Amino acid sequence: MAIIYGQEPQAEPINAEVRVVVKLTERAMQGPAGERTQDTRSRAFTEFSRVLPNAAFRGYFDEERELRAAVRPPFNRYVTMTAPNRDAALEIARRLQGHELVEEAYVESGPVPPPVNDSDDPRSGNQDYLNAAPDGIDARWTWSLTNGSGIGFVDLERGWTLNHEDLVGAGITVISGVNQDYHGHGTSVLGEVVAVDNTKGGVGIAPGATCRVVSQWRTATSYNTAAAILSAGLAMSRGDVLLLEAQTTVGSQQKLPVEVETAVFDAIRQVTDDGIVVIEAAGNGGHDLDAFVNANNRRVLNRNHADFRDSGAIMVGAASSNAPHARLSFSCFGSRIDCFGWGENIDTTGDGWQGNATNTYTAGFGGTSGASPMIAGAAVLLQSWRRNRPKVYSPDTVRDLLSSSLNTPSDNPASDRIGVMPNLRAVIEAEIAKDRWKPVQDKYLSLVYILFGIIDDAPGVVWIPGKGPVPVDPG
C-alpha cells in the first residue's frame, strides 16, 4: 500500500478473476514417442482433467493477440485456469505441484496497489534528488552532456494522466493495455523521469527521452504483468529502459518484487537478454528477500544461495531523502537489491495515487515507487550519453556501473542492504577516463606484441593514429 505525506490511503476494491498459473515441463510439450506434436499442450490438459475433472485450462498468453506469433519457449509452456476463489486456487495449485508434467504451479497475485510510500520550472528547486551526490544522483551535472535523448523509456503499471500540463508536451503514448486506475500514481512516476522542461511544474531526470507506457490491465477485466512486459519488449530497442512499477503477493507475504512470479521472471529475463535495461521496484513489504521462498520452497532472491536466479533486472530499494540515506522501514532489503533512491519527500506531477487532474502536483511521493524512477532516469541518462561511444551499454553493464562502489552508499550498508544510490558524475567521469586511457593502452600493448614477436613488424611498422602499428609495405 501507499504512504503519501505519511498517510496510508485506502485502496479501492478490485474485482478480478483468480487464476492458477502452471509452467509445464519440457516433457509435457512432447508426444508419447518424444516428438513434438501439433497441439503440444493437449496431453497435459488431458492429464490434468483426471486430477481436476471440472477444470478448463488454456494458454496463459492466448488472449494476447499481438504476442501469439512472438511467444517462444519457455512462454508456450505456461497455461492457466480460473478458480472460484483464492482458497480453491491454492488447493488446485497444491494438487498440481507434484504432477510429473508440472514444473511449477502457483496462484497468480492479480491486481496489487502500486508500491508507493509516500530554473524556469517553478518546482525544480524542490527536486533535490537532481542535485550532486551524496544528496542526489547528480542529474543536473549530467544535463551538460545529455538530457536522455535517443533512448526509449517505458513505464509499466496501471494508469496515468498523460495530458497533465507538465507531461503533455512529452507526447507519451500507450503501447498496449488499458489506462485504467491509479492514474495519479503513474503520473507521479512519469513526472520524475520525463516532466517537460517548460515553465510549469518541475523537470524530469531525463526530459529528452522518448516515453511510452504499457498497462498490466490487458483488457478492462484481464490482468497480466508478464504479458505487459513481453508486449513492451516487442516495441522497444536495445539500450532502452523499462520500469516495472508494480509489486505482488505470495501467500501471506505482501508487497514483494514482481519477479517472484515465475512467468514474470521469465518475461524479464527475455527482455534483458534482448538488450533492454529493466528497473524493478523491490516492493514495500519490508521483507528480507534473502529469506523469501517461492512455491517450490526455493530462495530465488538470495544471491548467496544455490537457488538464486537472476532476471537481469536492476532491483531498487528505498531510503531517506536526507544524507546519509538510511533504509526506510517499509522497503524490502537483501543481497538481491542493487540500488536505492529516495523513498520520501519527492516533488513530482500528480497526486501519487488515484487522482487524474491535469494540474496536480505533490511534494510527498515516495516508497520504492518513488525510488525506482530515480534509478530508471539515471539509466536513461547513462545510456543516452553512451549511445554514440560507439553503442549503448548492455543491461548487465548498466547494472554493474550503477551498483558499483563509485556510487553513494547508504548510511549503514551492512544493515540497510539496499545497495547504493547512483552518482552519475562519478560513473561517467570514470568511464571517460577509461576511454582516454584505452588508445594509450592499446598503443603500448601493440609495442609489447612487436617486441615479443606476436606482431611481425618486418620489414618495419609505422604508427597511424586510430589504427596503431601498421606494417610497412616492402614494395
Cell of 143: 544535463
Same-domain check for residues 356 and 400:
yes
Q: What's the total number of domains in the chain? A: 3
In this prediction, residue 412 has a pLDDT band, given cuts at 50, 70 and 90, of very high
CA angle 376, 201, 154 (to 5 degrees): 25
Cell of 72: 517462444
Contact (Cβ atoms closer than 8 angstroms) between residue 380 and residue 145 = no
Rounded to a whole number, what is the distance in angstroms from the first to the last CA of the chain? 78
* Domain closes at, from 107, 135, 152: 107
Residue 34 has pLDDT above 60, yes or no: no
The one-letter amino acid at 154: V
User: Residue 67 and residue 234: Cα distance in Å, rounded?
Assistant: 9
Q: Which helix (H) or strand (E) holds 449?
A: helix 424-451
For residue 272, what are the contacts with CB-CB under 8 A and spacing of at least 6?
278, 311, 312, 313, 395
In this prediction, residue 302 has a pLDDT band, given cuts at 50, 70 and 90, of very high
Q: How far is CA 119 from CA 124, 126, 131, 224, 332, in A?
A: 7, 11, 13, 41, 35
pLDDT, residue 225, reads 97
Neighbours of 394 (CB within 10 A): 16
Residue 2 has pLDDT above 60, yes or no: no
In a domain, 315, yes or no: yes
Q: Checking phi first, is residue 419 left (phi over 0); if not, alpha (psi -120 to 50) or beta?
A: left
According to DSSP, residue 473 is labeled: P
pLDDT, residue 289, reads 98
Q: 505482488: which residue's cell?
A: 248
Residue 14 has pLDDT above 70, yes or no: no
Residue 252 has pLDDT above 90, yes or no: no
Q: What are phi and psi of 280, to 5 degrees?
A: -130, 125
**CATH number for 41:** 3.30.70
Which of 381, 326, 429 minimizes the C-alpha distance to 139?
A: 381
Same-domain check for residues 128 and 100:
no
In a domain, 12, yes or no: no
Bridging pattern class, strands 210-215 and 173-174: parallel
Residue 104 has pLDDT above 50, yes or no: yes
In a domain, 118, yes or no: no
pLDDT, residue 162, reads 98
Whole domain around residue 455: which residue ranges? 439-471
According to DSSP, residue 216 is labeled: S
User: Residue 160 and residue 355: Cα distance in Å, rounded?
Assistant: 9
pTM score: 0.84
User: Residue 447 and residue 462: Cα distance in Å, rounded?
Assistant: 11
Same-domain check for residues 445 and 397:
no
Same-domain check for residues 214 and 177:
yes
Any bridge partners for residue 333, and if so which?
288
Cell of 368: 520504492
Q: What are phi and psi of 106, to 5 degrees?
A: -150, 165
Residue 456 has pLDDT above 60, yes or no: no
Contact (Cβ atoms closer than 8 angstroms) between residue 368 and residue 283 = yes
Which of 94, 84, 25 minimizes the C-alpha distance to 56?
A: 84
For residue 123, what are the contacts with CB-CB under 8 A and spacing of at least 6?
201, 202, 347, 361
Output the average pLDDT for the chain.
Answer: 87
Any bridge partners for residue 21, and if so which?
80, 106
Q: pLDDT tens for residues 186-233? A: 999 999 999 998 889 999 999 999 999 999 999 999 999 999 999 999
- Give burial (CB, 10 Å; 0-12/13-18/19+) of 179: middle
Residue 439 has pLDDT above 90, yes or no: no
Q: What are phi and psi of 241, to 5 degrees?
A: -125, 125
Same-domain check for residues 226 and 252:
yes
In a domain, 151, yes or no: yes
Same-domain check for residues 328 and 239:
yes
- In the chain, the percentage of residues whose pLDDT exceeds 90 is 68
Residue 475 has pLDDT above 50, yes or no: no
Any bridge partners for residue 241, and if so which?
153, 277
Q: pLDDT tens for residues 55-94? A: 889 889 888 877 765 567 889 899 999 999 888 999 999 9
pLDDT, residue 126, reads 86
Q: How many H helices and E strands in the chain?
A: 11, 19
In this prediction, residue 110 has a pLDDT band, given cuts at 50, 70 and 90, of confident
* Domain closes at, from 52, 77, 107: 107
**CATH number for 370:** 3.40.50.200
Same-domain check for residues 390 and 303:
yes
DSSP assignment of 75-109 equals GGGEEEEEESSHHHHHHHHHHHHT-TTEEEEEE--
Same-domain check for residues 78 and 160:
no
Q: How far is CA 425 from CA 406, 422, 433, in A?
A: 10, 9, 12
Lowest mean pLDDT among 164-168, 193-197, 341-345, 385-389: 385-389
